[in-house]
Amino acid sequence: MTHTIPLKALRPGLPRVANAVATKFDRFIVTKRGLPVMVLLNPEDYEGLLETIEILSDRTAIKRIRQSRKEAKAGKTVSLEALRDRLERI
């Protein structure tokens, strides 16, 4: 869940905010004079965002994702059992 918190309220509430970020994966937009100045988020969320950006900037990966979605919509899928059999042969 994303929350907005003024910088003045963040200072005394930092332990509570840090706990919410760490344990509940909450995100906080910190404002100063009503304008956003920073975002607090869990390191795992941050790493996930960086990974997503990297994937989306890779044209080959995007083409593969689009092709896979088309194949899935067309019913060109493999059962989990068949996939396991293929992997065991490798």
CATH number for 36: 3.40.1620.10
Domain span including residue 82 = 45-89
Percent of the chain with pLDDT over 90: 94
pTM for this entry: 0.67
What are the CA-CA distances from residue 73 to residues 3, 60, 67 (Å)?
Answer: 37, 20, 10
Q: 27 and 12 share a domain?
A: yes
Same domain as 67, residue 34: no
Q: Given a cut of 90, is residue 20 above it in pLDDT? A: yes
CA–CA separation, 14 and 22 (whole Å): 12
CA-CA distance, 29 to 54, in Å (whole number)? 24
Same domain, 38 and 67: no
Domain match, 49 and 38 both = no
pLDDT tens, 3-15?
Answer: 999 999 999 999 9
Buried b (16+ CB within 10 A) or exposed e, 37-48: eeebbbeeeeee
Residue 4 in 3-state DSSP?
strand
